[in-house]
């Protein structure tokens, strides 16, 4: 325990729990006079060297800020993120929740009531709907990270911890040893591929299966064999373990546990709707046997009062054009005052980015884009450059949902002004595809990236910086989808080219080599 309060204000009073990523302490905020929870990240979890300390500090604070954007009562609020001067101790300061881990109530000898388990899963779905809207992917959903508060509210803990450390909780080491909670790994996590919202849906399926059956989805003599089962083995249907489980609920769990991410439910809103028949109606009184274990909070109570997830965001559509219509605009000189205001906006946004204040940087750029578009026209190079900067800031800040329509609109604008195969148009199409991949629309992302790569190959060949980045992204997405053979066909030749052109010590060369090593661990039973 530190001899002095953390950051001069947070005192550690009592250790509450410990886990793979760190310990949780009951703390006290001396400045605001309130109790807090302090997550003390384990020192050995930090990939640290003096050379990357500052980069790590920035990443830690960035991910903490993204996590703090999940505004839902089922997510403990993040109050502060502290990295001490040695860059060796990390602390997340959060809302203190009085609750019990879900894992406490799982017992194969005493199955939980169906309505109790469904109520927990529905509340978790509601939380995930808000997180995925940011978007934030949990990556390590499990009973130990889910608390049931005294009033029956379900709290989901540890959003963003894996991303903060840039060590996915399911990542494999070079020897194939798992790091993290292998019992809840989605197949794409086992393979070391990209995680999407559907990754959390698989973990939710594992949790719901365990709540209803009282046992883990897969068990084996080794962690490797459990991971192999997640990739290859069919789950045991719930009704074979517990006949009183409704068939529709069994079907939902099996749907959540499908191997291919895009074969699972479209989103958590769909999961919530399919859980609704097993939840009590507003005003309905509890019946004997629905209350769960003796002394346990009742998560069904919240559904006796209306409670629903965040509404879906509007689908598709590019950002509406601002200012005058492009067809009406003609090239005009930039007025001196406007030119100065544009320079000031760039300088101000750059200063904010130095402090990783992405939201404020977007606001500064937005304030100048509208008057610039009115004065110069929406397709004016100065205006497009400002919009490119704003889209890039949104992407850097993890706001993929806002960045996607911006990049789509910019790709159309650059196609009009510089041709559909121009460098700027294809760069925007590639960035839009990366946003789609982050949001879980992997098939669309792959199609778009391949289309851009075809153009780049025709213009610059296979080993330009743009081409190798596209090839890397395509290979990693294929790997995430469980298409190991197809991924190997992309990443194998790419690795050979990277070694030849950039050398084996190049960062991308090493990244591709690690992906190929994962493929050749033969987790699928048919990898090369």
Residue 99's pLDDT is what? 87
pLDDT at residue 361 tops 70: yes
Q: Do 455 and 421 form a contact (C-beta atoms < 8 A)?
A: yes
Coil/strand/helix, residue 358: helix
Residue 128's pLDDT is what? 96
Q: Which of 49-58, 62-71, 364-373 has the lowest mean pLDDT?
A: 49-58
CA 101, 237, 255 angle in degrees (round to 5)? 80
pLDDT at residue 266 tops 60: yes
314/410: higher pLDDT: 410
Mean pLDDT throughout 338-352?
93
Confidence at 460, pLDDT banded by 50, 70, 90: confident
Q: Which whole-number Å values give the CA distances from 414 to 319, 345, 429, 436, in the listed order? A: 15, 22, 10, 20
**Which two tokens mark 376?**
């110069």
Residue 51's pLDDT is what? 57
Confidence at 4, pLDDT banded by 50, 70, 90: confident
Residue 161's pLDDT is what? 67
**What burial letters (b/e) apply to 310-322, b meaning 16+ CB within 10 Å?**
beeeeeeebbeee
Topology, domain 10-94: Phosphorylase Kinase; domain 1 (3.30.200)
Residue 527's pLDDT is what? 44
Residue 181's pLDDT is what? 84
Chain centroid offset of residue 255 CA:
21
Model pTM? 0.75
Burial class (CB in 10 A: 0-12, 13-18, 19+), 42: middle
Domain ranges in the chain?
10-94, 99-303, 336-519
**Which two tokens mark 337?**
């005052």
Which residues 6+ apart lie within 8 Å of 161 measured at CB?
21, 22, 39, 41, 92, 140, 169
Closest CA to 478 of 136, 259, 191, 255: 191
Written out in words, the top-level CATH class of the domain with range 99-303 is mainly alpha
Tens of pLDDT, residue by residue over 402-457, are 999 999 999 999 998 888 889 999 999 999 999 999 998 999 999 999 999 999 99
Region label for 51, one of left (φ > 0), alpha (ψ between -120 and 50) or beta (otherwise): alpha
Mean pLDDT throughout 81-102?
82
196/4: higher pLDDT: 196
Chain mean pLDDT for the chain = 84
Question: Annotated active-site positions, please?
Answer: 140
Coil/strand/helix, residue 27: strand
Tens of pLDDT, residue by residue over 121-176, are 999 999 999 999 988 899 899 998 899 988 889 999 888 665 555 444 444 333 34
Cβ-based neighbour number of residue 432 at 10 Å: 28
DSSP tag of 175: T
Show the DSSP H helices in 377-463 as ranges.
381-396, 400-418, 423-438, 442-460
Q: Do 263 and 257 form a contact (C-beta atoms < 8 A)?
A: no
Confidence at 56, pLDDT banded by 50, 70, 90: low
Q: Do 401 and 312 form a contact (C-beta atoms < 8 A)?
A: no
Region label for 22, one of left (φ > 0), alpha (ψ between -120 and 50) or beta (otherwise): left
Closest CA to 72 of 152, 157, 166: 157
Q: Which of 13-17, 34-38, 259-263, 329-333 has the lowest mean pLDDT?
A: 329-333
Mean pLDDT throughout 388-399?
94
pLDDT at residue 47 tops 90: no
Taking the C-alpha atoms of residue 104 and residue 463, their distance in angstroms, rounded to an integer, is 54
What backbone torsions phi and psi does residue 34 show, to the nearest 5 degrees? Answer: -150, 150
Q: Does the domain at residues 336-519 carry the CATH identifier 3.40.50.300?
A: no
Mean pLDDT throughout 321-347?
68
Mean pLDDT throughout 301-310?
68
Taking the C-alpha atoms of residue 66 and residue 160, their distance in angstroms, rounded to an integer, is 8
**Which two tokens mark 120?**
């927990």
DSSP tag of 243: T
Q: Which of 11-20, 231-240, 312-321, 494-503 has the lowest mean pLDDT?
A: 312-321
Confidence at 314, pLDDT banded by 50, 70, 90: low
pLDDT at residue 50 tops 90: no
Confidence at 48, pLDDT banded by 50, 70, 90: low
Residue 87's pLDDT is what? 63
Tens of pLDDT, residue by residue over 12-45, are 988 887 766 678 899 999 888 888 999 887 654 4
Coil/strand/helix, residue 450: helix
Coil/strand/helix, residue 419: coil
pLDDT at residue 326 tops 70: no
Residue 219's pLDDT is what? 94
Confidence at 228, pLDDT banded by 50, 70, 90: very high
Q: Which of 51-55, 227-231, 355-359, 394-398 has the lowest mean pLDDT?
A: 51-55
Which residues 6+ apart lie within 8 Å of 249 measured at CB?
114, 118, 212, 238, 275, 278
Confidence at 179, pLDDT banded by 50, 70, 90: very low
- End-to-end Cα distance, the chain: 49
CA 129, 132, 296 angle in degrees (round to 5)? 45
Residue 173's pLDDT is what? 37
Q: Which residues make beta-bridge pairs with 155?
A: 147
Residue 319's pLDDT is what? 41
pLDDT at residue 104 tops 80: yes
Taking the C-alpha atoms of residue 293 and residue 27, their distance in angstroms, rounded to an integer, is 30
Mean pLDDT throughout 47-52?
56
For 104-110, the CB contacts below 8 A with 24+ separation are 105/148, 105/292, 105/293, 105/296, 106/143, 106/210, 106/211, 106/214, 107/214, 107/293, 108/213, 108/214, 108/215, 109/214, 110/214, 110/293
**Which two tokens mark 328?**
């009406």
Q: What percent of the chain has pLDDT over 90?
A: 52
Residue 342's pLDDT is what? 94
pLDDT at residue 178 tops 90: no
């Amino acid at each position: 325990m530190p001899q002095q309060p953390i950051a001069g204000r947070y005192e550690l009073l009592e250790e509450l729990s410990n886990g793979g990523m760190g310990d949780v302490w009951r703390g006290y905020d001396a400045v605001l006079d309130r109790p807090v929870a302090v997550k003390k990240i384990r020192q050995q979890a930090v990939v640290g060297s003096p050379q990357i300390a500052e980069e790590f500090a920035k990443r830690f604070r960035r991910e903490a800020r993204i996590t703090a954007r999940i505004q839902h009562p089922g997510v403990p609020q993040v109050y502060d993120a502290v990295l001490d001067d040695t860059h060796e101790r990390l602390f997340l300061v959060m809302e203190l929740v009085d609750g019990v881990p879900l894992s406490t109530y799982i017992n194969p000898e005493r199955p939980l009531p169906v309505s109790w388990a469904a109520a927990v899963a529905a509340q978790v779905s509601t939380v995930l709907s808000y997180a995925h809207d940011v978007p934030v992917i949990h990556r390590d959903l499990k009973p130990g990270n889910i608390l049931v508060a005294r009033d029956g509210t379900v709290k989901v803990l540890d959003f963003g911890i894996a991303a903060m450390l840039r060590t996915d909780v399911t990542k494999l080491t070079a020897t194939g040893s798992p790091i993290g909670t292998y019992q809840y790994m989605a197949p794409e996590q086992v393979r070391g591929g990209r995680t999407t919202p559907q990754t959390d849906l698989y973990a939710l399926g594992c949790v719901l299966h365990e709540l209803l059956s009282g046992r883990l989805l897969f068990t084996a003599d080794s962690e490797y064999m459990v991971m192999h089962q997640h990739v290859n083995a069919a789950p045991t249907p719930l009704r074979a373990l517990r006949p009183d489980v409704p068939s529709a609920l069994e079907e939902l769990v099996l749907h959540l546990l499908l191997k291919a991410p895009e074969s699972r439910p479209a989103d958590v809103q769909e999961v919530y709707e399919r859980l609704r028949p097993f939840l009590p109606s507003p005003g309905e009184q509890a019946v004997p046997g629905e209350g769960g274990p003796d002394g346990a909070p009742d998560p069904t109570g919240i559904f006796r009062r209306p409670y629903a997830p965040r509404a879906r965001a509007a689908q598709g559509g590019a950002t509406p054009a601002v200012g005058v219509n492009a067809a009406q605009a003609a090239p005009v000189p930039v007025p001196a005052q406007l030119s100065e205001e544009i320079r000031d906006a760039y300088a101000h946004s750059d200063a904010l980015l130095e402090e990783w204040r992405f939201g404020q940087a977007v606001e500064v750029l937005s304030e100048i884009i509208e008057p610039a578009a009115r004065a110069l026209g929406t397709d004016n190079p100065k205006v497009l450059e400002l919009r490119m900067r704003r889209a890039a800031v949104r992407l850097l800040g993890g706001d993929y949902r806002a960045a996607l329509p911006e990049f789509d609109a910019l790709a159309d604008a650059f196609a009009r002004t510089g041709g559909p195969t121009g460098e700027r148009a294809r760069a925007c199409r590639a960035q839009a595809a990366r946003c789609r991949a982050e949001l879980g629309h992997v098939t669309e992302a792959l199609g778009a990236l391949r289309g851009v790569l075809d153009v780049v190959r025709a213009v610059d060949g296979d080993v330009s910086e743009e081409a190798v980045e596209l090839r890397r992204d395509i290979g990693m997405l294929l790997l995430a989808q469980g298409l190991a053979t197809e991924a190997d066909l992309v990443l194998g030749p790419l690795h050979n080219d990277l070694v030849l052109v950039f050398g084996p010590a190049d960062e991308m060369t090493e990244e591709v080599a690690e992906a190929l090593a994962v493929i050749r661990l033969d987790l699928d039973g048919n990898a090369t």
